[in-house]
Amino acid sequence: MFPPWTTPEAAAEILKNGGVVAIPTETVYGLAGNAYDPKALAKIFEAKKRPHFDPLIVHISAIEELSNVALEVPEVAKKLAKAYWPGPMTLVLPKKDCIPDLATSGLPTVAVRFPNHPIAQKIIRLAGVPLAAPSANLFQHVSPTTAQHVAEQLGNVIDGIVDGGSCGVGVESTIISFPEDKPVILRPGGITPEMVEAVAGSVTIHESKSNPKGPMLAPGMIDRHYRPQVPLYYGAVPKNAKIPSETVRIAFGSQESVIPPTVNLSASGDLKEAAANLYAFMRQMDKPGVELILVDPIPNEGLGVACNDRLKRAAVRQLPESF
């Protein structure tokens, strides 16, 4: 059957038998496989065309299950988990031997998340194992926020897709590591730096860049990522810039620009609404006949930090000189 729509119950059986299934979460759709099974993990990498130096996030269905995959948990990590789990936050912790090196790109740590989505939680419980689940899209492409997005890219190479509607948060989880037991944000996401600071007292934001000499510290840190096929330019358009006739604009708030808005992430300037719409609008504008996507600047605060992170990785560095 194409696309391979399936129920949570059937998905759990597929996962028990070593298959891979796209499942909904509150952030984006994930391509899930048994986190204990190297063969299932290999299927995830193969389906996504994902390089093995980019580690996976392991998903659990209860805080108590953290001890199944993590060797130790610093006190500050426990406080954050109590405050924001289930939710869009991933903790990077020393891993137990039961987690294969393939899941962690050979690192001694594992990225763990407890998703705030009833269907995801149900599937993990029914499968009886933690699930490794990166975003359910081809590597470096725009992340999926609906089941249809998954079907368009991966429907013919995976074992099932569970449709849970649109994702409420719309950008991936915040990833936090704990060097010397102090929280460091490796990737901004659905839990803002201010929210981490409120619980932990202080937080550092790591300037994430590609590491060509070894594994990435966490998913989503590659310089070029989340990128549509049509060139995307993020930020204020330079004066006298050459803009092709087939240009679309993803606006934010009531800003003025060189062309009228095609769509607006949030006409009222609401960062939560903007984050929820971001990937869906990027996909909507990424279509044949479009020559350039312009995206208005977004304030670098709250959820805007995550939006800025994704858009800077998705964007071309300068406007193309010819179209």
Query: Which run of H or of E encompasses 92?
Result: strand 89-94
Is 224 annotated among the ligand-binding residues? Answer: no
Q: Residue 220: inside a domain, yes or no?
A: no
What are the pLDDT digits (tens) for 240-289? Answer: 888 999 999 999 999 999 999 999 999 999 999 999 999 999 999 999 99
Share of the chain above pLDDT 70, in %: 94
Rounded alpha-carbon distances, angstroms, from residue 22 to 153, 164, 180, 252: 11, 10, 35, 30
CATH of the domain at 174: 3.90.870.10
Give, for 278, the enclosing helix (H) or strand (E).
Answer: helix 271-285
Is 266 part of any known ligand binding site? no
CA dist 110 and 242 (Å) reads 46
- Assess whether 102 and 251 both reside in one domain: no
166 annotated among ligand-binding-site residues: no
User: Of the candidates 205, 224, 245, which is a domain's last residue?
Assistant: 205
Alpha helices per DSSP H over 72-223: 75-84, 101-104, 118-127, 147-154, 193-200
Please give the radius of gyration of the chain, using alpha carbons only, rounded to the nearest integer: 19
Domain of 275, in residue numbers: 232-314
H-only helix segments in 165-220:
193-200
Indicate whether 320 pLDDT > 80.
no
- In a domain, residue 57? The reply is yes
Per-residue pLDDT of 166-210, as tens digits, reads 999 999 999 999 999 999 999 999 999 999 999 999 999 987 665
- The SS3 assignment for 56 reads coil
226 labelled as ligand-binding? yes
Does 278 reside within a domain? yes
Rounded to whole angstroms, the Cα distance separating 232 from 298 reads: 15
Q: Is 117 annotated as contributing to ligand binding? A: no
Q: Which residues pair with 135 in a beta bridge?
A: 30
User: Is 245 annotated as ligand-binding?
Assistant: no
Binding site annotation covers 125? no
The CA-based angle 7-16-60, given to 5 degrees, is 80
Q: Which of 190, 205, 220 is the last residue of a domain?
A: 205
pLDDT of 308 reads 95
Q: Is residue 173 part of an annotated ligand binding site? A: yes
Kindly report whether the peptide bond that precedes residue 238 is cis, defined as omega within 30 degrees of 0: no
Query: Is there a binding annotation on residue 204?
Result: no
Asked whether residue 285 is domain-assigned, the answer is yes
Q: Which of 155, 189, 205 is the last residue before a domain boundary? A: 205
- Band (pLDDT 50/70/90 cuts) for residue 215 is confident
The residue-averaged pLDDT of 91-97 equals 98
Rounded mean pLDDT, 151-156: 94
What confidence score (pLDDT) does residue 102 get?
96
